[in-house]
Amino acid sequence: MLDLGRFSLGTAGLGNLYEPMSDEQAWAVLDAAWECGVRYFDTAPHYGLGLAERRLGAFLATKRRSEFVVSTKVGRLLVPDPAGADRLDLANHYAVAADARRVWDFTPVGVRRCLEESLLRLGIDSVDVLYLHDPDEYELESALEQGLPALAALREEGVVSAIGVGSKSADALARAVRYDLLDLVLVAGRFTLLEQPALEELVPCCHEHGVGIVNAGVFNSGLLAATWPSAEDRYEYGPVPADVLAKARAVAEVCAEHGTDLPTAALRYSLREPLVRTVLTGAAAPDHVRANQRRLATPVPDGLWTALRDKGLTRL
């Protein structure tokens, strides 16, 4: 079993998510993560049209391959699009030149091509974990029927050590787990202190099939990243609905009553589920990484979880 560590780094931010980041800033984030003991890094072609993979690869080139675990994703091929070079990829939330376009392809040929191109951007010979990326945003059944056997074949050939599916849809992930082929699922924003749809079917399904959970998006796009949630924060990559903001503030109040700040509780919440192998967080600055490391090491009173559950704010 791969050792992912309790704390891991997602690299969407290194692809200029929302706003530009310099190469130097990206390196500083990765360096801080390494200093904090992070050894599992997740990326994808989707993140900045390959920029995140290239930046991560440049950093990992300075480390021994045996020292880290890296995952990337397949399903979105990057096809050159010179006509888009004079505009930014803001429709997908990335401040990079739109000189390529994403093309869905979950076929065995497409999966292998996507992996090969990722390896070139990363500058390494292999990745440890390979995920299907957001198959529910394409045609779920078709993507799973084609993509999962393609991933399994790569694992059988020894090309990758583990396979999984990454998605914001707990229902789609549960459906993928039932194929009984996966080692991991990467859950984005569906198993958080704010909302837990993953507990309905996905987590029980993972227990039944022995599938580990990589839990991402625990701050719900930033809403839970500050002690007091603000209407100016993001939720699901966009504005915060009033009812969601009200619930987040109710959770924050209970946290404060128990001497815990909201981000600390958000980071530690899902680790109470034994199947959660790691909490995967992004970072826009080195201090964000260091703060998350400190919070993960901060004890949280059991009474907090009981109070949140008793008030109907959480299910675990």
Cα dist. 298→172, 252, 272, 291 in Å? 33, 17, 14, 11
Catalytic residue among 18, 40, 47, 131: 47
Q: By the 8 A CB rule, do 162 and 126 touch?
A: no
Whether residue 47 lies in the annotated active site: yes
Q: Helix/strand/coil (H, E, C) string of the chain? A: CCCCCCEEEECHHHHCECCCCCHHHHHHHHHHHHHCCCCEEECCCCCCCCHHHHHHHHHHCCCCHHHCEEEEEECEEEEECHHHCCCECHHHCECCECCEEEEECCCHHHHHHHHHHHHHHHCCCCCCEEEEECHHHCCHHHHHHHHHHHHHHHHHCCCCCEEEEEECCHHHHHHHHCCCCCCEEEEECCCCCCCCHHHCCHHHHHHHHCCEEEEECCCHHHCCCCCCCCCCCCECCECCCHHHHHHHHHHHHHHHHCCCCHHHHHHHHHHHCCCEEEEEECCCCHHHHHHHHHHHCCCCCHHHHHHHHHCCCCCC
Q: Where in the sequence numbering do the catalytic residues fall? A: 47
